[in-house]
Amino acid sequence: MPELYFFEDLSVGLTAKFSKTITEADIVLFAAVTGDTNPMHLDAEYAATTIFKERIAHGMLAAGLITKVLGTQLPGPGTIYMSQSLKFRAPVKIGETVTATVEVMALHPEKHRATLRTVCTVKGEPVLEGEAYVSVPARASRAAQAAE
């Protein structure tokens, strides 16, 4: 896979993935950065009284793995997030490995934009699904910038 995809390099069906095991530290740091201190994520006693019976990761922590794929793999550096829809399907527990997958669904050449299917899975089962719309650098515009 190239270090950077230009819009012209993309094709429908192209995919990229990233996997990460969610740790206690990830949850605590995410809570500190976002201010989301919901006890569902941080307090084992409270979480034991909920439908999940244990602490779970922030849904947006799992969703954040999608941004890693978009910004570093597919399309890669220079990609600008324009929108993202998300449907949360299942919780992510501490110690579970989340795999974020991005797939090119449609290309919009008039503005160098792409629609991407985004899904995060644990053990092959979706924990969240959605769709991203991104702006992708074009080879021609990058060449023009370099010439300036």
How confident is the model at residue 3, as a pLDDT? 64
* pLDDT score for 142: 53
Q: Is the overall model pTM greater than 0.75, yes or no?
A: yes
Domain membership flag for residue 132: yes
Token pair recorded at residue 19: 């996997």
Q: Which pLDDT value is given to residue 139?
A: 87
Which distant-in-sequence residues (6+ apart) come within 8 Å of 117 by Cβ?
101, 102, 103, 105, 129, 130, 131
Confidence (pLDDT) at 1 = 47
CATH number at residue 109: 3.10.129.10
User: How many domains does the chain contain in total?
Assistant: 1
Q: Residue 141: inside a domain, yes or no?
A: yes
Query: Residue 54 domain-assigned?
Result: no
| Full residue range of the structural domain in which residue 140 is found | 7-21+59-147
Segments of the chain with pLDDT less than 50 = 1, 144-148
All residues at 6 or more sequence positions from 120 whose CB lies less than 8 Å from its CB, including other chains: 62, 63, 65, 66, 92, 98, 99, 100, 101, 126, 127, 128, 129
Rounded Cα–Cα distance for residues 136 and 75 (Å): 7
- In this structure, is residue 118 part of a structural domain? yes
Does residue 109 lie in a domain region? yes
Q: Is residue 37 part of a domain?
A: no
Give the pLDDT score at 4: 78
Task: Please report the pLDDT score of residue 141 as a whole number.
Answer: 61
